[in-house]
Amino acid sequence: MCYAYLVPQSRYDQLDDLLTRIHVARQRPQWRVLAAVQRHGQSGGASVRDVAELLAVDHSTASRTVAAAVAAGLLTKTSATDDQRRCALVLTDAGRAELAAVTGRRRDLVAKTVADWPDSDVDTLVTLLDRLTDRFETVAAR
C-alpha cells in the first residue's frame, strides 16, 4: 500500500533537499572510494564495479575516481585471484592512513554537530537514519 498521499509532497522535497545538503557537505569522491574499498576489502578486494555499486554511481565515474586514487598512491590495482579479467583494488599504507585521518576528522565533525543535543535525540536520529537508509536501499533496488 502506498502512503504517499498522507504526506504533502513538500515534505518529501524538504527531506530530499536536507539529505542532499548533508551528502554534499560531508562527501568527497576520493574518500568515498577509499571507504568503499575498505568496506569491501574483507572479501578479497573490491572491483571498480563493486565501488560503483557501493557509491551508487555509474561505472565510468567510479573508474575515473579509482584512477585518481591509484595515481595518488592511495590504492593499488591488481588482478583478482579468482578472475584474471577483474581488477582487485586494495588500499595502500598511504590510503589506509588517509582514510583513518579523514574518518577521524569526520567523526569529530559529527560529534561537534550534535554536541549540544541530548543523547536520546542522537540515538533517535541514528535509529531513524538507519531505518531510512535500509528502506531506501530496499526500494531503490526494485
pLDDT digits (tens, 9 = 90+) for 85-102: 778 899 999 999 999 998
Rounded distance between C-alpha atoms, residue 33 and residue 48, angstroms: 9
Q: Which residues of the chain have pLDDT under 70?
A: 1-9, 23-27, 42-44, 80, 82-84
What is the pLDDT at residue 125? 92
Tell whether domain 20-115 is in CATH 1.10.10.10: yes
What burial class does residue 41 get, using C-beta atoms within 10 Å of its C-beta: 0-12 exposed, 13-18 middle, 19+ buried? middle
| pLDDT confidence of residue 87 | 84
pLDDT value at position 96? Answer: 94
pLDDT at 70: 95
Predicted local confidence at residue 67, as pLDDT: 94
Rounded to 5°, angle at Cα 69 from 85 and 106:
125
Signed CA dihedral, 88, 142, 60, 129: sign only: negative
Q: What is the pLDDT of residue 24?
A: 58
Tell me what pLDDT residue 68 has.
93
- Give the pLDDT score at 17: 80
Q: Give residue limits of the domains in the chain.
A: 20-115
- pLDDT recorded at residue 5: 55
